[in-house]
C-alpha cells in the first residue's frame, strides 16, 4: 500500500525536513538517507523504520538546511608557513627576480585546508526523533485512509460476486430439466431412434458432468473467507491473494460446466469483479 508522511521543524539552528514514503512490494526494500551529522545512527533508524513499515519499497529521507552556514573551512597555518618558506627559498635560488604569487601556490598544496566536521549531538538527535515520529504519524494516517478506501472497494466487489452467485444458484434449479428437454427436442427433430434406457443412462452421466453444486459451495466459502480475512487487523495481503486465486479457479470451473448462456453471462461478470479485486490487491500490503 502506498504511504506518505512529512514533518518539518528546527533542530538546533538547522531546518530539518523528514519524509517517509512507500510503494507496495512483496519484500521490504528500505532506503534511509541521513545528513552527515547523524549518519552514525543510520542502522538504528533503519531497524526502527523496518519494524514499522514491514513490507514495501520505502524511503526515509532527512533533509537538512542550516540557518547559518554549516560548512567551515579550516586552514593548517603551520603547514602553510612551511610550504611558503620552502617555496620562497627555492624562488630566491632559482629566479630571484620572479614576482610569482607564492601564497596562491601554497593554497593549492595538499592538506593545507579541510572542512570542519560537525560532531554528533545527542540533544539534536532527540529532537530529530520527534520529527521522525511526526512523519510516521502522518504516514500511518495516509495509509489508514488508503486502507479504508481499499477495504470498501474489495468488500463491494466480493459482495457483487456473492450476489451473482445467488443468481447462478437460482438459474441452476431447472437447468438440468431444460437441458434434458433440449436434448429430447433435438432427437425428435432429427427423428432419431434411441433406446430409452441407454438414453437415460447417458443423460445421467452427461448431467453429472454439468453439476456445479460443489463449485458454488466452494466459491461461496472462499468469498466469505475473503471477507473474514479482510476484517483481521494483521497484515493479510498474501493470504488475500491466495484466496482470490482460489475464487478464480471456482469461477472458471463454473463457466466451463454451466452450458447455459444466462449462467455464463453471470460468470463473465464474476470474472470482471475478480479482475478488479486483483488489481486492487496490488496495492494491499
pLDDT at 273: 95
Q: Is the pLDDT of residue 250 over 90?
A: yes
The Cα–Cα gap between 219 and 7 comes to 46
Do residues 56 and 22 lie in contact, with contact meaning Cβ atoms separated by under 8 Å?
yes
Q: What is the pLDDT of residues 125-135, one digit of tens each?
A: 888 899 999 99
Does 285 score more than 60 pLDDT?
no
Between the ranges 81-85, 98-102, 198-202, 207-211, where is the mean pLDDT highest? 81-85
Give yes or no for a contact between 1 and 29, defined as CB atoms under 8 angstroms apart. no
Question: Higher pLDDT residue, 155 or 13?
Answer: 155
Q: How far apart are CA 204 and CA 207, in angstroms?
A: 5
Place of cell 528546527: 10
pLDDT at 179: 67
Task: Say which residue the cell 560532531 belongs to.
Answer: 119
Please say if the pLDDT value at position 209 is more than 80. Answer: no
Q: From the CB of residue 157, how many other CB atoms can be counted at a distance below 10 Å? A: 20
Half-sphere exposure of 282 (CA within 13 A, CB side): 5
pLDDT for 281: 84
Mean local confidence (pLDDT), 49-61? 88
Percent of the chain with pLDDT over 90: 29
Q: What would the pLDDT profile of 150-172 be if each residue is shown by its tens digit?
A: 899 999 999 999 999 999 888 77
In the predicted structure, residue 199 carries a pLDDT above the cut 90: no
**Which grid cell is 230?**
479482510
Domain positions in the chain are: 3-70+121-141, 73-115, 144-281
Region for residue 192 given its phi and psi (left: phi exceeds 0; alpha: psi -120 to 50; beta: otherwise):
beta
Q: Span 6-26, mean pLDDT?
A: 87
Would the pLDDT of 71 be above 80?
no
Tell which wins on pLDDT, 42 or 37. 42
The overall average pLDDT reported for the chain is 82
In whole angstroms, what is the distance from residue 104 CA to residue 190 CA? 110
- Tell me the pairing of strands 28-33 and 56-66: parallel
Question: Is 200's pLDDT higher than 70?
Answer: no
128-132, 257-261, 273-277: which range is least confident on average?
Answer: 257-261
Please tell us whether the domain made up of 3-70+121-141 is placed in CATH 3.30.230. yes
Q: 212: exposed, middle or buried (C-beta count within 10 Å: 0-12, 13-18, 19+)?
A: buried
Amino acid at each position: 500500500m502506498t504511504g506518505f508522511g512529512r514533518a518539518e521543524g528546527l533542530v538546533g539552528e538547522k531546518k530539518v525536513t523528514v519524509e517517509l514514503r512507500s510503494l507496495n512490494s512483496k519484500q521490504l526494500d528500505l532506503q534511509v538517507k541521513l545528513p552527515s551529522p547523524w549518519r552514525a545512527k543510520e542502522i538504528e533508524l533503519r531497524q526502527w523504520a523496518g519494524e514499522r513499515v514491514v513490507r514495501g519499497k520505502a524511503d526515509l529521507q532527512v533533509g537538512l538546511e542550516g540557518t547559518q552556514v554549516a560548512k567551515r573551512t579550516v586552514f593548517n597555518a603551520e603547514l602553510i608557513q612551511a610550504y611558503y618558506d620552502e617555496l620562497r627559498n627555492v624562488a630566491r635560488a632559482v629566479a630571484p627576480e620572479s614576482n610569482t604569487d607564492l601564497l596562491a601556490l601554497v593554497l593549492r598544496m595538499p592538506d593545507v585546508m579541510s572542512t570542519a566536521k560537525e560532531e554528533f549531538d545527542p540533544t539534536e538527535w532527540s529532537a530529530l526523533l520527534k520529527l521522525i515520529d511526526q512523519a510516521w504519524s502522518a504516514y500511518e494516517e495516509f495509509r489508514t485512509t488508503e486502507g479504508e478506501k481499499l477495504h470498501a472497494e474489495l468488500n463491494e466487489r466480493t459482495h457483487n460476486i456473492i450476489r451473482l452467485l445467488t443468481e447462478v444458484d437460482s438459474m441452476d434449479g431447472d437447468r438440468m430439466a431444460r437441458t434434458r428437454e433440449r436434448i429430447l427436442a433435438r432427437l425428435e427433430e432429427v427423428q432419431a431412434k434411441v433406446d430409452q434406457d441407454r438414453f437415460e443412462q447417458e443423460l445421467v452421466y452427461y448431467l453429472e458432468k454439468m453439476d456445479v453444486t460443489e463449485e458454488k459451495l466452494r466459491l461461496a466459502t472462499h468469498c466469505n473467507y475473503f471477507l473474514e480475512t479482510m476484517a483481521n487487523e494483521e497484515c493479510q495481503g498474501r493470504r488475500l491473494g491466495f484466496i482470490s486465486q482460489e475464487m478464480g479457479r471456482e469461477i472458471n470451473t463454473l463457466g466451463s460446466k454451466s452450458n447455459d448462456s444466462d449462467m455464463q453471462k453471470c460468470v463473465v461478470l464474476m470474472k470482471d469483479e475478480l479482475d478488479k479485486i486483483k488489481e486492487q490487491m496490488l496495492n494491499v500490503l
